[in-house]
């Protein structure tokens, strides 16, 4: 039962985490439009391989935190500073995502899998995301850090990520692309990290 619960939580958390338009899902959609859905699926598979590795590392760290709650207070304060810096970066420093991609840049269809692995590796947000999700659900007794349960969540994270990327690949249209490209994705990411910073600050104040 605990293995099934970990799988469901892992799948849903991965699914929700990839819903907002971002670097990975937008890249999968654009690859689908330019070079076909097969290339996009190869790219998505590469992304999922990296996501599974990131999830495993994050869950190992979360398991350590679960056994050492005294460390959580220090990490909350550290995380607040990190999230505030990330918020400032995406609001005021990061380049506008609405800029045009250089047309001369081409990638071979054969290395889409590797490209997905590499691009996902540059995205470090899944690490704190999975630590937060697992520790939170563990506090409610809904998530287990046993080895079989942990692997169930890892596999589910890859599966959930692939499903959402496949949805972007399948249903993405040019009109939707034009609409999304008019929005600077950095502001969306900055808003999300700002909300997380506020929640973290409230937790720190409550613990004083």
Most confident stretch, 23-27, 43-47, 102-106: 43-47
> Mean pLDDT throughout 97-112?
52
> Mean pLDDT throughout 41-70?
90
Confidence tier at 175 by pLDDT (50, 70, 90)? very low
* Distances in whole angstroms, Cα of residue 21 to Cα of each of 34, 44, 69, 186: 18, 15, 34, 10
| Residue pLDDT, tens place only, 2-11 | 899 999 999 9
Question: What is the rounded distance in angstroms from the CA atom of residue 105 to the CA atom of residue 157?
Answer: 31
User: Chain-centre distance of CA 4, in angstroms?
Assistant: 22
Q: What is the pLDDT of residue 9?
A: 92
Q: Tell me how crowded residue 126 is: count the other CB atoms within 10 A of its CB.
A: 24
Higher pLDDT, 189 or 133: 133
Q: What is the pLDDT of residue 160?
A: 93
Query: How would you label 83-114 residue by residue, b for 16+ Cβ within 10 Å and e otherwise?
Result: bbebbeebbeebeebeeeeeeeeeeeeeebbe
Terminal C-alpha separation, the chain = 37
pLDDT at 89 over 80: no
Q: What is the pLDDT of residue 159?
A: 95
Q: What is the pLDDT of residue 101?
A: 43
E strand or H helix at 188, and its extent? Answer: helix 185-207
Q: Burial of 74 by CB count in 10 Å (0-12 exposed, 13-18 middle, 19+ buried)? A: exposed
When the pLDDT of each residue in the chain is averaged and rounded to a whole number, the result is 78
**Residue whose structure tokens are 């970066």:** 89
> Mean pLDDT throughout 195-201?
73
> Mean pLDDT throughout 122-144?
82
**Nearest partner of 161 among 129, 134, 137, judged by Cα:** 129
């Amino acid at each position: 039962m605990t293995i099934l619960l970990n799988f469901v939580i892992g799948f849903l958390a991965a699914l929700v985490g990839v819903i907002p338009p971002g670097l990975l899902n937008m890249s999968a959609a654009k690859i689908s439009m330019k070079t076909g859905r097969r290339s996009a699926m190869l790219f998505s598979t590469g992304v999922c391989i990296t996501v599974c590795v990131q999830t495993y590392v994050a869950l190992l760290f979360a398991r350590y935190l679960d056994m050492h709650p005294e460390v959580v207070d220090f990490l909350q304060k550290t995380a607040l500073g990190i999230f505030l810096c990330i918020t400032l970066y995406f609001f005021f420093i990061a380049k506008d995502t609405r800029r045009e991609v250089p047309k001369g840049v081409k990638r071979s269809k054969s290395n889409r899998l590797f490209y997905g692995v590499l691009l996902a590796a540059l995205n470090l947000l899944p690490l704190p995301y999975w630590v937060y999700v697992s520790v939170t659900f563990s506090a409610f007794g809904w998530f287990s850090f046993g080895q079989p349960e942990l692997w169930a969540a890892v596999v589910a994270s890859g599966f959930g990520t692939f499903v959402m990327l496949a949805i972007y690949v399948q249903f993405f249209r040019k009109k939707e692309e034009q609409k999304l490209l008019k929005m600077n994705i950095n502001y969306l990411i900055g808003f999300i990290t700002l909300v997380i910073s506020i929640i973290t600050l409230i937790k720190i104040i409550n613990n004083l």
